[in-house]
Structure 1
């Protein structure tokens, strides 16, 4: 490479790095809880909590409309009621981690799909797939572990954290477009879709969701030790073939089971207190 070009590329790289680093601010989305989740997160000013929740609400509404049109929305009334009752008990405990979650417009539905999956979008938009219920056959305690885990992703704003990283990266890449002629656009809706349904959560995010989910379940009166049996079932379901979608990037390894066991034991007194 010519020295002038090299220097120019290096300079632009420094500018891009500065843009990325300068585009995020340190935040603490949740209180630590008894489980002790205290990692400082970094969010871009370009991705506000309100904007992402609004985008999530729109996408969620669209997904529900599509499911309803296909006859795949809350098809089994008893099954839907079960999921909603468990979810509501967990939602009542969300304030332990962030009081403002009490004002979220939480919504819970069951979607008919063979996928073994569940998710919670920003702002508390929850969906559980019938494939998970049919194939895992979870107890109420195990189902609480699933839903609590997904709620934890929303409480910690993991989607916003990932979208922030995407947005500031695009912002940095736009600097390079002056040289390459290729621009980068910031599409909040597309970024949220990628984060929710395409890109994997990091191991850090998964561990935080595991731990917070276990505490939510315990405080709601569900046995936190069920998280261990749940993820064991998930891992066994995959066998030698591809794992369930919910585990596609994070199989239930021995280290995860060990961490869940430790976390469950830590919050066991909360469960025992809730059961009195």
Structure 2
């Protein structure tokens, strides 16, 4: 009886949603507010830790550029997903070498200054990178991944338990790798659309993904990002589509 009640509660909170632009259907089993609250807490913990280590927002010029560019991208994203207007968007930069670019639910962005510097990104190319991360947020990929991990467990579990399992369970990560690959391609495509609607030229898509392809390191069995050449091919196709 208890298991049946838990199953009914999970079913009651399940939401079917569509990713903006692509229209792909998602099963979202955790409330958006709960996922956003957890992501916000993690972001605070991460940025506080980076600040304590002297690795947060030291590159003031890049921080200013990123925040200025992100403002226009967020406006374009809100037009695709009106709920995004109510999120607490934040942008920080770090010189932690482990960080390239990251996003968390609810509008949290973290940009790696060493990565941006290594690729020598101009404003248009930086816009494409940030738009990719914004696309992950707008498409609610974090919420979807956690929901799929819950579905994989075949029983009701709290969000924190599912998140901890997802972070440490390699077989589970492998089972969800196909979803991750779909999400990465989706973020590339949706990100390019967001950047275009924010006024950035298609040429920026091509130069960014050319640089990324040239910089790509060896992939692993769990790598979720498409190859650099695949992403460049997508950028060429999107550029032709948007220019028509």
Fold in common (TM above 0.5): yes
1:96 aligns with: 79
> Does 2:112 match 1:129?
yes
Contact 1:28 1:41 in 2 (8 A): yes
> Does 2:129 match 1:146?
yes
Q: What's the CA shift string for 1:123-173, capped at 9, x where partnerless?
A: 000000112112111111111111101110110101111100111222x1x
Give SS of 2:109's match: strand
Contact 1:67 1:73 in 2 (8 A): yes
Residue ranges of structure 1 left out of the alignment (5+ in a row): 1-14, 175-183, 270-276
2:240 aligns with: 265
Residue ranges of structure 2 left out of the alignment (5+ in a row): none
Question: Structure 1 residues 112, 194: CA separation in 2 closer, same or farther (over 3 Å shift)?
Answer: farther
Q: 1 CA distance for matches of 2:19 and 2:224?
A: 25
Contact 1:145 1:224 in 2 (8 A): no
Give SS of 1:41's match: strand
1:112 aligns with: 95
Q: After TM superposition, where is structure 1 displaced by more than 4 Å over at least 4 residues in a row?
A: 21-26, 192-195, 198-201
1:39 aligns with: 24
TM-score by length of 1: 0.73
2:184 aligns with: 206
TM-score by length of 2: 0.82
Q: 2:218 aligns with which of 223, 242, 250?
A: 242
Give SS of 1:109's match: strand
Give SS of 2:28's match: strand
**Superposition map of 1:17-56 within 5 A:** 25=14, 27-32=16-21, 37-44=22-29, 47-56=30-39
Number of residue-to-residue matches in the alignment: 229
Q: What's the CA shift string for 1:64-117, capped at 9, x where partnerless?
A: 100110111100211110111111110111122111111111000001122361
**Superposition map of 1:173-188 within 5 A:** 174=155, 185-188=157-160
1:191 aligns with: 163
Q: Which moved further from structure 2: 139-148 or 225-234?
A: 225-234
2:63 aligns with: 80
Q: 1 CA distance for matches of 2:80 and 2:36?
A: 18
Q: 2:45 aligns with which of 44, 51, 62?
A: 62
